[in-house]
A and B are shown apart, each in its own frame.
Chain A
Amino acid sequence: MPKKKKKQNGNVAVVPKPAKVRIRTYRHGLGDCHLLSFVKADESRFHMLIDCGVVNRTPDPGPLMKRVAEDIVRETGGVLDVVVATHQHTDHLSGFRQAADEFNNKLKMKRLWLAWTEDPSNPLGKKIQRQLVKKLAAIREAAQKLRRVAPADAAEINTVLDFFGPAAGDASSTQAILDSLQKRNETEIAYHDPGDGFVVPGLPNVRVYVLGPPTDPIQLKMVNPRKSKRDAYEMAEIASDMLGLVDALGHEGGEEPPELSYPFEAWYRRPASTMKRNKFYKEHYFRKGEGWRKIDNDWLQAAETLALALNNFTNNTSLALAFEFIDSGEVLLFPGDAQIGSWLTWSDLTWKVADGNGEKRNVKVADLFPRVVFYKGSHHASYNGTLTGYTDGVGLEEMTHRDLVCVVPVDRAMSKKMGWDRTLPWAPLLQHLKEKTRGRLVLTDRAEIPPTPETLDVKLSNTERERFAKQVFVTDDHVDYVL
């Protein structure tokens, strides 16, 4: 490493030993990487890694992610009991490739947890993957076509495309990274459906509830906050496919688009090549000085809409998990980047759970949320990443635990660079989170000083202040939360 390692602050040393778990969230940039170290009955550790990535725009991401991976190796002694890859975005996966040496040679992954959408034996999952590839190809083609004529538009599309890494086939595409994770010999793979609930093997005190991704393809498309569930559903169904656009693009090898993708029969269509001499169009479309009224590129610009829709869709395919400590009832919530469409389905789920005495009972998400003590802010605290203000869903309002702490991976400088600084994070949500946690909101970037026991909400009691002081530790490289 050419870069000199910074000396750690003194407070690293005072991180107390966790009773149940230590959650380490890395502060490497705009992206997710969380190392959960659970304490087993014999005092040894059970390590779970949830995601490891950073956005493509990050300058020189290799050394950055390598440094994260080195820390993971150090902390785990080279064994990860579980790796969770929530969804196919670079800011959650790139590290597995950028720090390939660590992940391939210095780390053993015992189990890999993925969402059902990644399961090659699931027909719907397979269809989703196929469509994803086809649509991404169409969007790439549109961006390519726009590059010369409308570079600003092309750049915007590419910013969105960046989340998927390079084109399929390239080893650093998100698809390829997931594939290579699934091909590891030592790793046992589990694909999870919403409604799955199980006790983690080796951790008898921890029960996992799988919340998302939803199995209804239309719910997957729902991304925007809307008052009524029904209307949002309708919108999502209609809008996001843009198959007409995909048909016009993205067919390889110069083959013709399907005839039915045209709006009118062939005899109505006059080819563009002959129309420059047509009396009407010469006068009303091609006339000199009237170029400012042309619409040659608008249909391609619609690809940005598709790209955004796809991006949001992929966020909704996040494997969203809740971890419950059976004895104390405390819950840790890791929704990945799930957006509204996913959140809205959680309240429909029911888990059948056997208590210690063998009695069965039903658990709903409404039972879990009031016990959430740690919330990993979904989708970098975007304005559609956390459910709030819905009458027919369970969301942030229901997280009523007095010890609630929220950690959100953000990088506002990077968001600004990408032109998303107003939505990622969304200031009103941050405010809301601050209120819900009564100040115990920790953002991973360096834009402001993280809260300390002294700067917390005045309404916090001294005991709560002390508790926070024993729970949250922020260094230059990571945020540790101890329970």
Chain B
Amino acid sequence: MAARTNANNNGSCDVPACSTPQWRKLRGYAFDPVLSQQFETAGINEIVFKVPWEELEPGPVGEYVEVVDYDPASSAFYDPVDLDEASIVGGDGLDPEESNPQFHQQFVYAVAMTTLRNFESALGRKVFWTRRDEKKPAGKWETFVPRLRIYPHAFRAANAFYSPDRKALLFGYFPASTNPAGVQLPGGMVFTCLSHDIIAHETTHSLLDTVLPRYLDSTNPDVLAFHEGFADIVALFQHFSFPEVLHHQIAKTRGDLASQSLLGELAQQFGQASGLYGGLREAIGRPDEKGKWMPLEPDPAAYEQTSEPHERGALLVAALFDAYIAMYRARVADLMRIATGGSGVLPAGALPADLINRLAKEAARSAQHLLTMCIRALDYCPPVDITFGDYLRALITADVDLVPEDEHHYRVAIIEAFRRRGLYPRDLRTLSEQSLHWPSGEQLDDDGRKAISLLADRLRPLAERSHYHEPRETTFEFLREFRAEIHDLIRPRIGKKVLGNLEEITGLLLSPRKKKLDGLEISKTGGYQFEVHSVRPVRRHGPGGEEVDNIVLGITQRRSVERNGTWYNMLGGCTLLLDLDTLSLRYAIRKPIADPKRLEAFQRYIDGDTSSAAVGLTKSSEPIARLHLNAVL
């Protein structure tokens, strides 16, 4: 406590920069500790996490997360760590130590905040945890939840999950297998909260839920698979964004630097100790009979044949992993030429340390770059019912918006990787960058443009205000009011011909026609029901360095569909990307609620899906827990 007071109110220091440090350094594990005991890199299993400095209460409890270490199965509580204590700050956090619960608290905090930071910088805005919907006598009530809660020792099982109801991450622990031939140390305790990959994976579930909350509704075989795959992608590339992680392997496999097996083997270690995330390993490759890791050739048919969310999600990860390898190769090609005098053949003996450092740095940068691309693409995804093809289009469009010239051919690498795994939209003629790019909003007619311009004009102050340094709760309230306002702006215009062809372009069904659409409710004012479920201001720097203000609106609709005596919710909607400078519609990323083809696909999904039987369609209060269990059991 004393340390914090000093840091903040140190009157003797008149240089403002020294009043608070910019970063907090926290030591942690590079690999799962259980693995490190058998891993050749045991000696280098420590990395330093740099998280933005914030004042912390014991817990740690900060602005975004709170670690609460209650272990009900042991009916025990563990004392919360105070990371602001001078001796801890001075030592870059507590020593990595499996047997000390306070180190566990420090580690989950460090990884969760690292993940959160990656999201905030990629999205260009602050994160608000998904609101809590309460039913109060006065009607529905939305409550601001300031912090994600993290329970590092919540139960005794080989699982960890994000609980959307409790806005919490729950991590389990379990005694390792008693089988001495297994991957783990027999008899030892395995903590899922000591794995960077697992923490990053679960934190990503919660962060994805803040951007696209309807992605926990399993409406096609890709939706939950996307949740899983995306969480793996973030965990994987975030892990690779630490040069230290790659350093040792690059040194070890000299002369074979760009081989897939180098990084593939690392990806292999992913979550192995906990038994989670086996699907990822499966999709990229596996050891042959002699134990040598072999990459698995992409199989374009796998997408059609795989339905289990993890296995399907692994296809997405594998595709992005391929793209990563291609990016890395392109980035180090010149380095290799320099290092080999143009021959491409490295001299015998250990590689020069400088070269290793540079290669590791390039590998880490490629990972960070791809990670940012993957997260940024979320603002270009439909609000509901995503497919991998949609995500490919979002990735491409988002990147074109930021970097019009694909100088390093990153986009080509991504398209190629997705194509080879069969992950592409089925309704496009070609897979060129241009056809994958979401269609622009230019087909709006005059009335449509007018309506959009009115909307965008109203949203301008929002964009301004959302960048002020206000408490997150204030901004949250403000955004909530805005959602209501947008709803009120659209509703009275329904059916009055002032919307032009906006409905057609957005796929939203607002004005009732002669033939009413079954299952979609009509509100008291006469239009079809819709929900403005998110308003996301985005401020970025455009290619020329100019500031670009965009607003992303997520509008959703829900339709009841009966199938074999059970009612299901079919979801539709549109993501509207508005340009506030020109007051125009940049993109309308649509999932039309009335599309008969979508209805048919949804019905087919209800009839035939396996995994949803246990996960998606049957309502579960803990969808992610279910999802993970299915993979493990």
> Which A residues are closer than 8 A to B by beta carbons?
218, 223-228, 230-231, 234-235, 237-245, 247-248, 261-265, 268-272, 275, 278, 280-281, 284-285, 292-299, 301-302, 305, 308-309, 312, 383, 389, 419, 422-423, 426-428
Contact = CB atoms under 8 A, between A and B. Distances in A.
Interface stretch (B118-126, B146-154, B223-231): B146-154
A248 B156 contact: yes
Contacts of A275: 77
Contacts of B308: 225-226
B166 interface: yes
15 contacts: A238-B182, A244-B175, A245-B156, A263-B74, A269-B74, A272-B75, A293-B166, A295-B166, A302-B156, A305-B629, A305-B633, A309-B633, A426-B610, A426-B613, A427-B608
Contact of B155 (A218, A264, A299, A312): A299
A293 B167 contact: yes
B388 interface: no
A383 B633 contact: no
Contacts of A389: 305
B75 A298 contact: no
A272 B183 CA distance: 35
Interface of B: 58-59, 61, 66, 68, 70-80, 99-101, 132, 149, 151, 153-159, 165-168, 170, 172-175, 177-179, 182-184, 189, 191, 274-275, 278, 281-282, 286, 305-306, 308, 311, 607-608, 610, 612-614, 617-618, 629-633
B308 to A, nearest CB: 8
A242 B73 CA distance: 12
B-side binding surface: helix, strand, loop or mixed?
Answer: mixed
A284 B80 CA distance: 11
A414 B158 CA distance: 32
B112 to A, nearest CB: 16
A231 B610 contact: no
A301 B172 CA distance: 12
Given A272-B75, A284-B61, A301-B155, 12 more contacts: A227-B311, A238-B158, A238-B182, A239-B633, A270-B76, A272-B76, A293-B167, A294-B166, A302-B157, A305-B633, A426-B610, A428-B610
Given A244-B156, A270-B79, A284-B68, A422 B59 contact: no
A305 B155 CA distance: 12
B100 to A, nearest CB: 8
Contact of A231 (B79, B191, B281, B633): B281
A281 B70 contact: yes
Contact of A235 (B74, B155, B278, B612): B278
Nearest to B132: A292
A247 B173 CA distance: 13
Contacts of A280: 58-59, 79-80
B157 A242 contact: yes
Contacts of A265: 99
B156 A242 contact: yes
B189 A263 contact: yes
Contacts of B274: 238
B59 to A, nearest CB: 7
A268 B70 contact: no
Contacts of A244: 73, 156-157, 173-175
Contacts of B72: 295-299
A52 B74 CA distance: 42
B579 to A, nearest CB: 39
A381 to B, nearest CB: 13
The winner among A218, A284, A427 for most chain B CB atoms within 10 A is A284
Contact of A238 (B66, B76, B275, B311): B275
Contacts of B178: 241, 243
The winner among A234, A238, A305 for most chain B CB atoms within 10 A is A238
B175 A235 contact: no
A269 B610 contact: no
A451 B80 CA distance: 66
A302 B632 CA distance: 13
A271 B167 contact: no
B156 A295 contact: no
Contacts of A239: 158, 275, 632-633
B99 A264 contact: yes
The 8 closest A-B pairs by CB, nearest first: A238-B275, A244-B156, A422-B613, A269-B76, A299-B155, A299-B73, A239-B632, A302-B157
A228 B282 contact: yes
B157 A245 contact: yes
Nearest to A232: B278
Given A268-B78, A298-B170, A224 B157 contact: no
Contacts of A230: 286
Given A284-B66, A309-B633, A426-B610, A261 B175 contact: yes
B156 A224 contact: no
A243 B175 contact: yes
A296 B166 CA distance: 12
Contact of A295 (B170, B177, B633): B170
B335 to A, nearest CB: 36
B167 A295 contact: no
Given A270-B76, A271-B76, A295-B70, A305 B157 contact: yes
A98 to B, nearest CB: 30
B278 A284 contact: no
A278 B156 contact: no
B633 A240 contact: yes
Contacts of A240: 633
B166 A292 contact: yes
A292 B74 contact: no
B65 to A, nearest CB: 12
Contacts of A228: 282, 286
A224 B630 contact: yes
B68 A262 contact: no
A262 B275 CA distance: 21
Contacts of A292: 132, 165-166
Contacts of B618: 419, 422
Contacts of B165: 292
A245 B191 CA distance: 14
Contact of B154 (A245, A299, A305, A422): A299
A274 to B, nearest CB: 9
The winner among B172, B305, B610 for most chain A CB atoms within 10 A is B610
A295 B74 contact: no
Contacts of A248: 73-74, 156
A441 to B, nearest CB: 17
B262 to A, nearest CB: 21
A295 B154 contact: yes
